[in-house]
Each structure stands twice: as structure tokens, then as C-alpha cells.
Amino acid sequence: MRLWYMLLLFRFSILLIMYVFSFVNFLLFVSFMGVSKFIIPKNIYDRHKLPVICV
């Protein structure tokens, strides 16, 4: 019973770490998009908008 509980806790912690990592990755992506909007000129950004969204 104790081993099963430890395994469940281990799986839950891995899931939690994955969720946190994906959330941080999403935040970094959003901040990068905001920065690229300011750095890259508007017409170049509009020309490359579709590939950025697809990726």
C-alpha cells in the first residue's frame, strides 16, 4: 500500500512539474512575442506573422 502511494505521489509530482514547465514556457513565448513586436518593424512583422502563429 505504501509503495502504491509513493508511486502515485511520484506520478503526480511529474505531472505538476510538466504543468509548471509548460506554463513558464507559455509565459516566455508570450513575452518574446511582445518584445519581437517592438524590435521588428511593423511591415516585416506583418509579413512573418503567419509562420510565427503556425510554429
Q: How confident is the model at residue 10 (pLDDT cuts 50, 70, 90)?
A: very high
Distance of alpha carbon 24 from the chain centroid: 6
Number of residues that this document lists for the chain:
55
Q: Look at the chain and report how many structural domains it folds into.
A: 1
Tell me what pLDDT residue 28 has.
87
Q: Work out the angle at residue 39's Cα, subtended by the Cα atoms of residues 34 and 45, and round it to the nearest 5 degrees.
A: 75
Tens digit of each residue's pLDDT (9 = 90 or more) over 23-38: 998 888 888 777 766 6
Q: How confident is the model at residue 49 (pLDDT cuts 50, 70, 90)?
A: low
Q: Work out the angle at residue 39's Cα, subtended by the Cα atoms of residues 38 and 44, and round it to the nearest 5 degrees.
A: 95
Q: How confident is the model at residue 21 (pLDDT cuts 50, 70, 90)?
A: very high
Q: Work out the angle at residue 19's Cα, subtended by the Cα atoms of residues 15 and 20, and round it to the nearest 5 degrees.
A: 120
- Which residues constitute the domain of residue 9? 2-54
